[in-house]
Amino acid sequence: MLTEGDIVARVQHVTVTRLRVWVRAGWIRPVAKAEQGFSEADMARAALIRDLEDKLGFDEDQVPVLLNLIDQIHGLRAELKTMLEALEDLPEDVRATVKSRIAKNTPRKSR
């Protein structure tokens, strides 16, 4: 587990104040409420928010919208991955059936 101090020391340009604002806003949700509550994912997320604000120039009204979309994408990706893994386990002929169904239902890209 990482502390506030660890995050601030390891993610450049993130101050304790900034980090607390993000936690208060619910953008970063430490696992534990106590001070030593941050994970590696939280730290990477802090770096992401810093990039959104500092490097990409989004303001604080826009950041939650982006985070929401990013979180949705990762949610969908995780479920897609689960589905694909499940497909992988199916017998060859069932996989072939699914594959042809998918091909049939995929709209052609218009050029």
Partner 1 sequence: MADDLYSVLGVARTAKAEDIAKAYRKLAKKLHPDLNPGDKAAEDKFKQVTAAYDILGDTEKRRRYDLGEIDASGQERPQRRYYREYAGGEDGARYRSTAGYEDLGGFSDLFGDLFGRGGGARGAGGQRFAMRGQDAQYRLEIDFLEAVNGAKKRITLPDGGTLDVTIPAGVEEGQVMRLKGKGMPGLGGAEAGDALVEILVRPHPVFKREGEDILVEVPITFDEAVLGGKVEVPTINGNVSATVPAGTNTGKTLRLKGRGIKRKNGKVGDELVKLTVVMPDRIDDDLKTFAEEWRDKHRYDPRRKLREQA
Binding site residues, partner 1, CB under 8 A: 24-27, 29, 31, 39-41, 44-45, 47-48, 64, 68, 70-72, 74-79, 81-83
- Concatenate the DSSP letters of all residues of 19-45 into one string: HHHHHHHTSS--SSSSSS-B-HHHHHH
Quote the least distance from Cβ 12 to partner 1, whole Å.
8
Count how many Cα atoms sit within 13 Å of the Cα of residue 31 in the half-sphere of its side chain: 11
Measured from the CB atom, the residue of 105 and 110 that comes closer to partner 1 is: 105
Quote the least distance from Cβ 111 to partner 1, whole Å.
28
Q: How many CB atoms are located within 10 Å of the residue 52 CB?
A: 19
CA-to-CA separations, 52 to 20, 48, 101, in angstroms, rounded: 17, 6, 40
Measured from the CB atom, the residue of 78 and 94 that comes closer to partner 1 is: 78
Measured from the CB atom, the residue of 68 and 100 that comes closer to partner 1 is: 68
